[in-house]
Amino acid sequence: MNEKLLPHLACPRTNAPLIWDKTHQRLINQEAKIFYPIENGIPVLLPEAGQPLSEESA
């Protein structure tokens, strides 16, 4: 994923900023406790792609 895009990305559900988790290749919305996967270097920012952020996956 291109780091220069990060300031321009927002959660499609809440419009909150996203944090890049490089280790797990995902974008995290800490407010809503959900994450969006990054597949082949492309963020999947569809509302239905958001998955709950569990304590184990944080």
Band of pLDDT at residue 2, cut at 50, 70 and 90: confident
Q: Are 22 and 38 in contact (CB under 8 A)?
A: no
pLDDT digits (tens, 9 = 90+) for 18-57: 999 999 999 999 999 999 999 999 999 999 999 999 865 5
Give the tokens for residue 56: 């184990």
The pLDDT assigned to 50 comes to: 96
Q: Around 22, how many Cα atoms within 13 Å sit in the side-chain half-sphere?
A: 4
The pLDDT assigned to 55 comes to: 64
Give the separation between CA 48 and CA 46, rounded to whole angstroms: 5
More confident residue, 2 or 13: 13
